[in-house]
Structure 1
Amino acid sequence: MSKFNILVIEDEKNICDFITKALSSHGYHAVSVGSGATALSLITSLCPDVILLDLGLPDMDGMEIIKQVRTWSDTPIIVVSARTQEDDKVLALDAGADDYLTKPFGTSELLARIRTSLRHSNKLQNGTGFSQKPYCAKGLKIDFYKRTISINGEFIHLTPVEYKIVAFLAQNSGKVMTYSAVMSNVWGPYAESDNKILRVNMANIRRKLEKNPAEPIYIFTEVGVGYRMTDDEESC
């Protein structure tokens, strides 16, 4: 199994040393930097599989790094921060972070969060590589390996968050997925209980996917419960 590249953006040396040592001992290739500017430059050249990001950097706020990276990449970002306020977590997750780990934390929890991020980004491999059969239904095709969505051959642009919602529902097509399950999958365990942000994203998704958003054929609302994606067809 090839080593996954993990970029650690952390300016506190003791924490940085703890994280990189833990990652290296469990088979990951860890690279660490202590400033935001260096990190942004390194992300483009290293192409990490997961980014571990401290928000309190000496030269810029970690929130700015999230926003900049999300303009061109959907690489999983796990915020590792001493900020414990719910507002900070919500802001980071809304900006595009995949998860939020509050300091202090243990090695087991850190590794579990990384495995989850890799699994959700379809990068977890089992020796020969990982791929998943595309989802196809009524002209809609989702290629999970290429992370593309098309309708009757025409590609549809979704934001990273919108893609995660649709992909999660498609991977569980035919099943009713609760609001909390969708939110937890997309925004992580610190997602707020209010599903307003999910409903806003779903409205945008339907405008892009459905001919008539009021009468959807792909994603159905189970009032008060969640959403259900139309059943996957056997072949495209």
Structure 2
Amino acid sequence: MKIDVLTLFPRMFEGPLGESIIGKAVEKKLLEINISNFRDHSDNKHQSVDDYPYGGGAGMLLKVQPIYDNLRRIEEASPETKKRVILLDPAGKQFDQKMAEEFSEEEHLVFICGHYEGYDERIRSLVTDEVSLGDYVLTGGELGAMVMIDATVRLLPEVLGNKLSAQTDSHSTGLLEHPQYTRPAEFNGMGVPEVLTNGNHKLIDEWQQKESLRRTLERRPDMLEKIVLTDQQKKWLEELRDEKNDFS
């Protein structure tokens, strides 16, 4: 995968995109990341990228010209790749695991990080997606882009050491992930559930599924309305609801 980021603050990306899983993916050449300062593409001697809005209003808007020219340069550098151009915007569609999975299927992603009060509306005609990290406003799109890149890159083949890691993550299955334990089996009076140590994989799988349902019911019951459960999962869910009512 190739990723381009358009930003006014390239140095913000040096640490997050150069370390850990993403850094290793770049080293292995599974991923190429290019950071562009779209101020370098400004067509005036002061390299300004923003201006006052027509009709008045608070703040400054990013101009269309520097971003247009930056995108054109990216296209010229790799005309062979199909690009998905993502505008970071609080008014965009909210980012989630499903969107990360969609992004991970693309060959070339381009993220545009905004600043100031907003965008010249014509910038929106240059993109394929307008995406928000959540229902809040940040000082710019950089942090949002980093989060989206991280969530996307970890889904690429060979990036994670264990292929099942991404498949069983919270949100990937539609449920929150079940509790997990490692050695020692006993610590400070806290033990590991016996079912996980008996080697019966069928019972372990059932326990994990049921605990995923339990955790989702307790913490994110809204997620249960969005997925299709098996008959067995429905039965377990009813049992868990009965348990919950008994203790309420």
TM superposition score normalised by structure 1: 0.32
Greater relative contact order, per chain length (Cα 8 Å cut-off, separation 6+): 2
Q: Whose helix fraction is larger, Structure 1's or Structure 2's?
A: 2
TM-score normalised by length of structure 2: 0.31
